[in-house]
Copies of this chain bind each other. A is one copy, B any other.
Amino acid sequence: MSAAEETPGGEDMPWGEVTPEAARRLLVAAVEAFAERGYHATTTRDIAGRAGMSPAALYIHYKTKEELLHRISRIGHDKALEILRAAADGDGTAAERLADAVRSFVRWHAERHTTARVVQYELDALGPEHRAEIVELRRQSDATVRGVIDEGVAAGEFDVPDVAGTTVAVLSLCIDVSRWFNAQGRRSPDEVGALYADLVLRMVGAQK
């Protein structure tokens, strides 16, 4: 992680790598608008307006509206993959690492559900090359989770008849959090993360 993504205090600063500041403001505005209305229902005038700029200003920093979506999608997927890998490559048993991965992955999808919604559900709005690039990142996410489950099975920790299918289900479950999660709801991101980690351990038949 680059220094630009962290404040001096060390807390996470999203979109810190996007410069200059005007480009970042536009990108944050686009994330909000895309998450609320969807990519196709969002106009470039709406994005520029939210960022406090004229419609033409957008095209100084981004070539097209689709490039904006691609930047958002790319950064978001990189972050999601980084979170999964940090947990998967950590110490501990396969069960501990899987629970860790699910907990942090779900927490991210809940906490930053605005971004996650765009990242996960607006994939089809990308052009062919950009979409292919993102699909490859997803393949890596899948491989990361499958690896932990494989290790758990090999170590006798898990009981999983269908590793590939279970991997898809686990990732699907986590990703869909961004669709239904509501910040005003009863549950905090931490609570949902803990619940889901428990559910996934049950899915893979980890002994408690």
CB distance from A168 to the nearest CB of B (A): 7
CB distance from A202 to the nearest CB of B (A): 5
C-alpha gap A172/B109 in the complex (Å)? 14
C-alpha gap A162/B193 in the complex (Å)? 13
Known: A38-B38, A166-B195, A203-B203. 7 other contacts (CB 8 A): A37-B124, A121-B121, A165-B187, A172-B176, A172-B179, A202-B202, A202-B203
* Chain A, interface residues (CB within 8 Å), range: 20 to 34
Contact of A169 among B166, B175, B196 (CB under 8 A): B196
Contact of A172 among B37, B38, B125, B180 (CB under 8 A): B180
Q: Are B172 and A177 in contact (CB under 8 A)?
A: yes
Please name all residues of chain B whose beta carbon is closer than 8 Å to the beta carbon of A38 when the two chains form the complex.
38, 40, 124-125
Please name all residues of chain B whose beta carbon is closer than 8 Å to the beta carbon of A161 when the two chains form the complex.
198
Q: Are B40 and A195 in contact (CB under 8 A)?
A: no
Please name all residues of chain B whose beta carbon is closer than 8 Å to the beta carbon of A180 when the two chains form the complex.
168, 172
Interface assignment of A155: CB less than 8 Å from any CB of chain B: no
Q: List 14 A-B contacts (CB under 8 A).
A: A37-B124, A38-B125, A40-B40, A121-B179, A161-B198, A165-B187, A165-B192, A168-B180, A169-B199, A172-B176, A173-B176, A176-B179, A202-B202, A202-B203
